[in-house]
């Protein structure tokens, strides 16, 4: 029976030692923490720094995700690459490792015409038996994928094979457009750290793929949304929004710097080291504001 892919599926951050190799002990703590907080599974994606890891490290990361999850939930591997051949290799390794699904962004070093993009995604879908989450990460990397393209993929392969994580702006209206264009068949996941989770939930998403740093807040928010408890929803949601707004100001490196800072603050990571080079680092005034907002979030979870 195929694994049901839904709910809260946090995107794992890759903990690094001082020499930028993967810190396996911290990675195990991170995955344990996710499942202790009630996550439905874990993912690899952009904030896992997959585009900055070596080929061997990416393969190792996928293998570790499966081994350390140890059957506690869904595992989704990031397989997007700059060539179809690379992406297929990552996807086949994810399949062999025991992942439940794969997720892919388009190549980012060139703006592909729809024909080439079609060949890329359909080859992935055909050469890997796992469900494929088609990710548009164009709010911070790459270019947008059209609703028409999404629909064509769904028509070709069906909703059990093709799932979606559309992050092109404007995200909310695009979620609704995809939902309506596919008569509600598209299984859609939101991301962007949770800043648009309330709006996305009300538009009918199947799940969310936030970072790990605020997962306890996201889990509480998800449960409040399911319960229809608007008072709890907005009490928890506002500090999450404010933290993610600070992350968004510096794109992918903004997410990485603040999220890894919070993982160290929580005692999950030993270091906030990121793969070099980076475009932005956390300055003192931003750090102080993140700390204020983090305390507000913790207070909201105690109420």
* Binding-site annotation, residues for pyruvate: 209
Work out the angle at residue 31's Cα, subtended by the Cα atoms of residues 14 and 76, and round it to the nearest 5 degrees: 75
Annotated binding site: 209
User: Cα separation of 229 and 260, whole Å?
Assistant: 30
Q: Which DSSP string do the residues of the chain spell out, in sequence order? A: -PPP--EE-PBPP--B-TTS-B-HHHHHHHHHHHHHTT-SEEE--GGGTGGGS-HHHHHHHHHHHHHHHTTSSEEEEE---SSHHHHHHHHHHHHHHT-SEEEEPPPSSS---HHHHHHHHHHHHHH--S-EEEEE-TTTSS----HHHHHHHHHHH-TTTEEEEE-PSSHHHHHHHHHHHTTT---BEE-GGGTTHHHHHHTT-SEE--BSTTHHHHHHHHHHHHHT-HHHHHHHHHHHHHHHHHHHTTHHHHHHHHHHHHHHHTTS-S----PSP-S----HHHHHHHHHHHHHHHHHHH-
* Residues linked to residue 103 through DSSP beta bridges, in sequence order: 78, 133
- Contacts by 51-54 with C-beta closer than 8 Å and gap 24+? 51/108, 51/141, 52/275, 53/14, 53/275
């Amino acid at each position: 029976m195929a694994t049901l892919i839904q709910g809260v599926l946090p995107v794992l951050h890759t903990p690094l030692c001082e020499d930028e190799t993967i810190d396996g002990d911290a990675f195990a703590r991170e995955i344990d923490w996710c499942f202790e907080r009630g996550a439905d599974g874990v993912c690899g994606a952009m904030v896992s720094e997959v585009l900055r890891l070596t080929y061997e490290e990416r393969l190792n990361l996928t293998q570790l995700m499966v081994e350390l999850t140890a059957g506690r939930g869904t595992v989704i591997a990031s397989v997007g690459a700059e060539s179809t051949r690379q992406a297929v290799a990552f996807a086949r390794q994810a399949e062999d490792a025991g992942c439940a699904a794969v997720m892919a962004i388009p190549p980012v070093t060139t703006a592909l015409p729809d024909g080439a993009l079609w060949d890329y995604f359909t080859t992935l879908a055909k050469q890997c038996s796992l469900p494929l989450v088609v990710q548009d990460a164009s709010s911070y990397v790459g270019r947008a994928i059209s609703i028409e393209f999404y629909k064509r993929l769904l028509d070709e392969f069906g909703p059990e094979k093709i799932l979606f994580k559309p992050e092109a702006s404007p995200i909310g209206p695009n979620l609704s457009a995809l939902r309506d264009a596919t008569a509600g068949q598209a299984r859609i996941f939101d991301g962007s750290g949770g800043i648009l989770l309330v709006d996305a939930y009300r538009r009918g998403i199947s799940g969310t793929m936030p970072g790990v740093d605020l997962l306890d807040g996201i889990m509480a928010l998800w449960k409040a949304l399911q319960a229809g408890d608007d008072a709890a929803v907005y009490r928890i949601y506002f500090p999450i929004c404010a933290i993610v707004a600070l992350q968004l100001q510096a794109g992918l490196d903004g997410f990485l710097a603040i999220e890894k800072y919070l993982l160290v603050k929580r005692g999950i990571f030993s270091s906030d080291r990121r793969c070099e080079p980076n475009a932005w680092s956390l300055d003192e005034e931003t750090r102080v504001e993140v700390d204020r907002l983090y305390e507000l979030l913790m207070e909201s979870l105690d109420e």
